[in-house]
Every structure is written in structure tokens, then in C-alpha cells.
Structure 1
């Protein structure tokens, strides 16, 4: 989830011959010449973004030094650092020295090989599976491939959506601070663990069916359980096509139409699998959940608030104290991808999810809310 916003000036290297610009991290306002230059080199803003960006285990969708072509964005190995260096995540040097790592993406790449008996090759931003892994942190696709879509404006928009408590209904705000925190194995401040887990399983069961190809990409969103979570959210880069009633299941995971080339059904399956992987991986971060003996049975879901910003910064990085959680997250991602690869039914896979995330509450409240979310259309599609 979120790292604390550093209220200090930072120096951004624009990686060109124009020198350095100084930007106030606590403000969206920048000098006119900075805005003009960053429209041509938008990833210079990533230093700002990563300071305030909501991250679980860290993601690294793009590098502010070199964009998607930079090694850091498509790395395959983690560098585990000494626990004492965790304090650096509160300092601007953590960002400016590119200490942020692609933990979610690397875990998934490493888990893919034993599950599929082959290496997942390619740049992160081109791979739907890794696009899905990053979706939980960036569901509006404002940072991923941002340079293709007027990047500077979208990076600033991500920052505004994630931070602005006065706009609580933006999708980016909701996944990090609001009712969609279950996508990070957490709960909203006004929810119990049971309520959050019930929502998690309504989303998870259907998304797993999407991941194994039981739901066509053009399925109308309002006929699915996704309508409960995204029913008022538009679905297209083109405002004229953003009517929520027209949205499809593919639009849920690809609002900016980044993965419409090639086999869209296969792309959707990968996007959905990646989003589930992110949820599983987050459940092994000590700032998201309490587990028995650190990596055992899930005992409690945490909620993100101002009090645990420091914990998120320390527990979501590749530090030695977090190695056991990262290792378990990788192992469980391998198991998840194995179920997806074999196209195992939800009935078979559900035992894995119950063991990993805890069983959903079987009480009356859960049953009643679930019944309201499962439509006849959904049943006809997935059963």
C-alpha cells in the first residue's frame, strides 16, 4: 500500500542534457518549464510518483531513469538488503538511487517457470500477466505504459487520485485507502475481517473463473459480480465510449486498452491471473496481514491508515527480514499459476485459496450479501 509522502524538495535527473529540476514533492504544482519538459520526457516525474505511490510489495512499472526499456523495470532477480537499510525508504535517496525494486513482477517471473516449465520472457509492460500483477496498484492504468498516453499528465493524475481524500470514489483511491483494499489482502477502516474477506471471495471466485477461460472477454460487466465493485466506473480512454453500461470484463483489467493486440481472450486470462497473484503475494507482507509465525495461517487483515505508513515502507521492501514472506509469496504464486495453467475448476482450486487466505465467513451476513452479487447471468456463464 502507500509509502509516506515525503514533504521535502527532491532533485529529479531528467536523464538528458537539460540539467536538474527541483520539484516540491508535496505539491502537484511545478514550474512551467518543468511541465513543458516533462511532457517530452514524462518519466522524469516518476521520482515524485514513487515517493507517494501506493505500493504493497513494491512494483516498478517503469523506471524514471529509462522508462520501460530500463533494466529495473524488467528485472528477474531481487537484491535483498540489510535490515538496517530499511530506514532509507523514508529518504529521498531511496527513490533517487533507484532502490525501489520490481518485487511483485520478479516474484511472478520466478514463480512462472516452475508452473509452466518455461521462462517468462519479455519486457514487463508488454506482458499481460505482469500487467495484471500491477493492476491492483494501478487499476486505471495511469502509470503503466504512461508514456504512450501523454505520460506526465497521467502520472500526476495517479498522484492526485491516490492522495486526494476529497475524491474518495476514484478507483485508485479506493484500492489503496477505501472499500477495495481487499485487492491488497487488507480491509477498509469501517469493515471487519469477515466483511472484507467476503468481498475478497466474491471478487476472487469470479476472477479465477476469468483466469481459466470460463468467462469471455466481451462479457458485459453489469451482468457479473464486478458490477458490485466497478459499476459506476467508465471503461475507455475515449470519453464517448466510457458509459459504464457498455463496459466488458476485459475493460475491468484494461481500461486504457493496452492489451487489445493479439489474442484478447488469452490476454484477459493472464491479466486476471496476475491480479490474483498480487492479492496472494500481498497477503504475505507483514504490513498487510498478521500470520501465524510470520508466514503461516492468516490471522488478521490490516487496514491502511496514517499510523502504519512506516510499517508499509519497511515491510514491503526486499530486506532480509522480509525474505521469508517473499519466499512464501513466490511459492504460493507458483501453486496458483499451476492451478491456472491446468485450468483446474474453482471447486478444486478453492481449497488452495481457503488455505492461503482463510475461509470466507459462512455467517448469514456473508450469505445474504453474496446472494445479491451472484446473478443468473453469471451462473449461466461460469457453471
Structure 2
């Protein structure tokens, strides 16, 4: 029993450290779709470790992304209602897409993934192999601090999205001093890819690096993943075209939501006189971007302080348009299946750079002391 307790506490410790880096926080268990995978893939031993680990995450994690997304999609209840992953089952696939950016599934091939809790050939997610997930995450953080370049050749998607070349999935730069134009370009590439995927323009069997989106191959050139592999690896519950469309849209929503989190992006106060250019109707412009932050030299606690619900609530009641206004406008385009050419000007407006935009840094408020 002492050995069991010690191992359980170890799992708790491994997972507790992860929450501060996350963007607006997520509820670790996920929706009923993700919980199905957990119950099928875990042994009784892993379930016990996961149960203890999830309790640890609950102490520092909140369902902020779920609440933002549910409110964008129409929820008008209090935080407990709108923050529930299962608030509205028809939103489940969009929420799965929002969660994907923080928890993209990955799989180790034979001879790789020599971490506790990992299995060769198994698809790893936070709620299916939590010990493995935590060990991989921690290893990625260490390698990042040591200056290792984390890309398609050296790291799984989980590590790349949090510490490597794909931090644009959280509206962040991949390193200090990176030009804002470069970060913006990557965000727009991802926006086009996810939007056109949501419209069904690419077969799910299409190889990601070969789809007709300029710039997408930069991140998947050495991988033969299909669109389905990228978003639904090991998850047969989301592979219908309509479900995949919502999942892709959710991934884009995550980037937009994170761009309103202070630890990720510094925005100017919105100017009510500014309207989005190139639009056929008058649409207010959100605050222009002064800086995309970089995580490598941030204090994780300071970063996390602006990812909790209190920070979201303050932003929600502040200057408009806020994250909910922007998300709801974007959702209207999605609901009516607007083309990429039609929605692109609005996405460019969301990420408009300020005239005095700066290169990436930790941000004065979030830098380590």
C-alpha cells in the first residue's frame, strides 16, 4: 500500500506542474468523447493513477477555455454551467478542437518514448496516458530551457505546441526576439488550414504537408500524417466529416481565445473608432497587438495568473470587442459556411499589429525575477 501511495503521489506531482503553462485553463477530464478513450485505454492501475493526478490538476486548473467556448456558442448560465465540458453535447466536437491545441494526440514508434507510463504504438493524450503525457511534457520543458530546437524532427506535437516551433497554436512566439510579422504569418497559415478543413475542402485522407495551403508544409514536411491523423489519431469517435469540421474550427477558436490572454499577447485598448478594413459591413476592431509573448523566459506562475477565470472575467467586463464578441462573430461565419476568402479579412483584423509592435519577449509583467 505504501508503494501504491508513493506512486500515486508521484503521478500527482508530475501532472501538477503542467497547468501553469496552459493557456486559458482546461478541465483535464474533457468531454464524454475523450472520457470514452480513457476508459478503454487505461488499466485499473492507470485509472487509479489518473484519478489521483486529475485531483492534483483540479487544484490549479479551471475550465476557462470550456466556459469561453460555450459562451461563444450560446451559453448564458453561470460559470459552473458554462464551464462544464458536457454543458451541451452538440458543442462537444468544437470543444474537442479547442482542447486539441493543448493536448494534441501523439504516438511513439518502436524504440522511442522511453518515459514512465508510455507504451510503444499507443496514442497518448492527457486523459488516456497521464503519466506518459506528464513525463513527455516535463522532458520537453527541460530541453527547451537547454536550448534544444523542438520541431518535427525532435519532438512530438505536444512538446512542439507548448515549447517549440508550433507555439503559434497558442498565439505565442517560439522564441524571444522573434518578429511579430513571422508569428502572424504562422497564425494565418493555421487559420487558413483549419478554416478550409472545416469546410471539407481537403479529403481527410489528404497528407497535411501536401494540402494547398502555402506555408503549412513547413511544420509537417517530414511527416506523412493525413488530416485525419493530425486531428483524430486514436480517436474513432470524431472521424465523421461533420465532426472533423467542428474540431478544426475549435482549434482555430483556441488560437483566437489565447490571443486575448495577457500571458500570451499584449493588446492595446480597443479604439471604438477603429473598424475592420476590407469588410462589407461595419465590424469593430479588437485591440491591436503590441507584442506576441515568448514563454521560454516567463515565470510560469505569473503566466498562469492571467489564465484563470478571474482574468477572463475582468477581460470580459472590460473594453469591447472582447474575446466573446470576436468569437461570436467568427462563429457566425462558421455557421453559414463562409468561404476562406470571405472570412480572411476578419481574421486578419483580429490579429492586426499595432504601429509600434515589438519583437517577442517574456513581457515585463511575466518575466522571471
Q: CA 1:154 to 1:187, structure 2 compared with 1: closer, same or farther past 3 Å?
A: closer
User: Post-superposition shift, 1:217?
Assistant: 1.3
Unaligned runs of 5+ in 2: 37-54, 77-81, 108-122, 271-285, 356-369
Normalised by the length of structure 1, the TM-score is 0.63
Normalised by the length of structure 2, the TM-score is 0.65
Q: CA 1:326 to 1:153, structure 2 compared with 1: closer, same or farther past 3 Å?
A: farther
Between the aligned partners of 1:355 and 1:161, the Cα distance in structure 2 is 33
| 1:307 alignment partner, SS class | coil
The residue number in structure 1 matching 2:347 is: 353
The residue number in structure 2 matching 1:91 is: none
The residue number in structure 1 matching 2:260 is: 284
Matched, 1:211 2:217: no
Task: List, as ranges, runs of 4+ consecutive aligned residues in structure 1 with deviation greater than 6 Å.
Answer: 123-126
Give yes or no for contact 2:264–2:294 (8 Å, CA) kept in 1.
yes
The residue number in structure 2 matching 1:81 is: none
Matched, 1:192 2:179: yes
Unaligned runs of 5+ in 1: 1-17, 22-30, 39-43, 70-93, 233-243, 362-383
The residue number in structure 2 matching 1:103 is: 64
The residue number in structure 2 matching 1:330 is: 324
Q: CA 1:163 to 1:140, structure 2 compared with 1: closer, same or farther past 3 Å?
A: farther
Give yes or no for contact 1:134–1:275 (8 Å, CA) kept in 2.
yes
Match of 2:11 among 42, 45, 48: 45
User: Post-superposition shift, 1:51?
Assistant: 2.3
Give yes or no for contact 1:253–1:271 (8 Å, CA) kept in 2.
yes
- Structure 2 counterparts to residues 1-383 of structure 1, below 5 A: 34-35=6-7, 45=11, 48-53=14-19, 54-62=21-29, 68=35, 98-113=59-74, 122=86, 127-140=92-105, 146-148=126-128, 150-165=129-144, 168=150, 169-170=154-155, 171-189=157-175, 191-224=178-211, 225=213, 226-232=216-222, 244-245=223-224, 247-255=225-233, 257-258=234-235, 260-261=236-237, 264-293=240-269, 296-319=287-310, 323-325=314-316, 328-358=322-352
Deviates more, 1:326-335 or 1:105-114: 326-335
User: Post-superposition shift, 1:353?
Assistant: 0.7
Between the aligned partners of 2:174 and 2:311, the Cα distance in structure 1 is 29
Q: CA 1:144 to 1:275, structure 2 compared with 1: closer, same or farther past 3 Å?
A: farther
User: Post-superposition shift, 1:330?
Assistant: 2.3
Give yes or no for contact 1:132–1:271 (8 Å, CA) kept in 2.
yes
User: Post-superposition shift, 1:178?
Assistant: 2.2
User: Post-superposition shift, 1:55?
Assistant: 0.2
Give yes or no for contact 1:284–1:325 (8 Å, CA) kept in 2.
no
Q: CA 1:179 to 1:153, structure 2 compared with 1: closer, same or farther past 3 Å?
A: closer
Give yes or no for contact 1:212–1:269 (8 Å, CA) kept in 2.
yes
User: Post-superposition shift, 1:297?
Assistant: 2.0
Give yes or no for contact 1:47–1:96 (8 Å, CA) kept in 2.
no
Between the aligned partners of 2:18 and 2:126, the Cα distance in structure 1 is 17
Give yes or no for contact 2:104–2:125 (8 Å, CA) kept in 1.
no
Residues 238-276 of structure 1 deviation map (CA, whole Å, 9 limit, x = unaligned): xxxxxx33x211211223x21x23652122111111110
Give yes or no for contact 2:14–2:134 (8 Å, CA) kept in 1.
no
